[in-house]
Structure 1
Amino acid sequence: MIAALGPFFAVDQHAPGSLAEPPWHSMAELVDDPSVLRERITQTRAYLGAVSGQEPDAIEVRVAASVTHLGLVARLISPALAAAVLDNRVPILSLAQLHWQPVLGGAFPLSLPELPPATPDNLVERLQLELLNGPVAAVTRAFEISAHILVGNVASALNGAATAIANAAPTLAEPAHTLTTQLLSTASLRSSHTTDPFRRRSCCLIYRAAPAHNGPLCADCTLDHD
């Protein structure tokens, strides 16, 4: 059912504690080896340049870094939020337990350890512990760009995942919205956005990847007041 919500929700599963084997990589490489994250940002920079008809050097490094970060946290948050909404399950996660294939252009392949049994209590606290304070926080700390942008990316990824769940399965809209609202109200995220409608207080910078820095703004961007 999770996969039916869209590509950012679809995951493979592996036995807890198993090592990543090619073509899979451990996501821990992103923080354990700085060159891996730098290469990912470099690849994103080249990709953004290619799709906008520009040379990679025309894309600011901070833009590529923000887009890289947003893509990573959105991919981590989406299936975890869906598992909580659908089945009252929260994956027990760490970057070492996450396997991925670092491909570009959409939702990269992701494999999670087998999900634990359903436990409906304390979903918000467990999502904070296992997801936001776990792999999302670890990945975020590795990026050397504005903390204001990074926390906005996390909030945007949460809101985006809830919106995608509601669009794909309207009967899940209310529980997805309730859980996400609670997460966005926690201390680390409450100052990152405004509500009704959701609007982040920072910009992910993707508009600057277009020629002359004149690309479209995201629907939740602080720069869009229309």
Structure 2
Amino acid sequence: MTDTDPDTDTATATVLSESVTGLGPFFAFRIHPLGTEPDGPWQPMSRPLLEARVAAVGARLAAAGGRPPGSVEPRVAASVAHLGLAARLISPALAAAVLHDRVLAPGLTELRWQPVIGGPIPLSLPDSAVADSPAGSPEHLADELSTRLLDGPLRELSDMMGKFSVSRHIVWGNTASALNGAATMIAAARPELAARTRSLTSLLLARPPLRGTATMAGGGTFRRRSCCLIYRAAPDRSGPLCGDCVLAR
């Protein structure tokens, strides 16, 4: 965003937010001016809150499987928590790119969230998260998203997951899976944008840090090259696999 008219920057970002949010709750976000705090129970993406999030996800997974608290491996809970957070960052960003050719890349320390369990995580982004000009060609748009989003807040989030012994192979597989999930939802909501969405998704998957994290099988079926580990949350560690899992046959 430019620094000449903060009110205009906030208004422009708010219009973008309203357009993207129209795709559904997994794309929804609100805008707050950089340097201010949004009203309500919003929290920064701090390490203590992330640790609490992982613990809460682990407890929820254990309860769903009829297991006692603390029985789910921390790295399993951390991977599942990461997948949800990555999806909430990448979904509105992909939508902003597809709908408006805009790059949406918030700094991880500047965004605010509400760590609810179950359903889409409420998200508030600073107005500075919106690029000050359209990104240009699809290739340039993919380059900008790779640099500013994937190598920005999503890499920061990836680094934070190292504490829980979640490998980078899994973390970036989670991110690729979140990207594909967002593309699928956009195509379902706006079929006329399906080709554009899939094209941009393919460009992002071909660039680092997502290069090599997934394959597109016959008929365009997405298959990641890692596992989010959620099957290990089942009582016998043999729960169902996700549809895009490398272990699925």
Same fold (TM over 0.5): yes
> What is the percent sequence identity of the aligned residues?
50
Distance 2:92 2:188 in 1: 15
Distance 2:172 2:69 in 1: 26
Q: Establish whether residue 220 from structure 1 lines up as the match of residue 244 from structure 2.
A: yes
Larger Cα-atom Rg: 2
Structure 1 residue 20, shift from structure 2 partner = 4.9
Residue in structure 2 matched with residue 129 of structure 1 by the alignment: 147
C-alpha change, 1:92 and 1:64, in structure 2 (3 Å) is closer
C-alpha change, 1:130 and 1:42, in structure 2 (3 Å) is same
1:119 to 118, 134, 139: 134
Residue in structure 2 matched with residue 105 of structure 1 by the alignment: 118
1:150 to 157, 160, 171: 171
Residue in structure 2 matched with residue 39 of structure 1 by the alignment: 52
TM norm structure 1? 0.91
Distance 2:159 2:132 in 1: 30
Distance 1:123 1:151 in 2: 20
AA aligned to 1:216 is P
Distance 2:112 2:183 in 1: 23
Indicate the larger mover: 152-161 or 90-99: 90-99
C-alpha change, 1:218 and 1:92, in structure 2 (3 Å) is closer
Number of residues of Structure 1 aligned to a counterpart in Structure 2? 220
Q: What are structure 2's unaligned runs of at least 5 residues?
A: 1-18
Correspondences of 1:124-203 after superposition (within 5 Å): 124-144=142-162, 145-196=166-217, 197-203=221-227
Residue in structure 1 matched with residue 69 of structure 2 by the alignment: 56
Distance 1:133 1:187 in 2: 9
Q: What are structure 1's unaligned runs of at least 5 residues?
A: none
Structure 1 residue 49, shift from structure 2 partner = 1.4
Structure 1 residue 40, shift from structure 2 partner = 1.4
Distance 2:194 2:65 in 1: 34
CA contact (8 A) 1:152 1:201 kept: yes
Distance 2:35 2:108 in 1: 12
Residue in structure 1 matched with residue 90 of structure 2 by the alignment: 77
Distance 1:41 1:128 in 2: 26
Partner of 1:49, secondary structure, is: helix
Distance 1:22 1:150 in 2: 30
Distance 1:188 1:104 in 2: 28
Partner of 2:26, secondary structure, is: coil
AA aligned to 1:150 is V
1:9-62 C-alpha deviation (Å, 9 max, x unpaired): 0111111232355401122x13xxxx3322111111111112222212221111
Distance 1:81 1:18 in 2: 25
CA contact (8 A) 1:91 1:113 kept: no
Q: Establish whether residue 11 from structure 1 lines up as the match of residue 29 from structure 2.
A: yes
Structure 1 residue 192, shift from structure 2 partner = 1.0
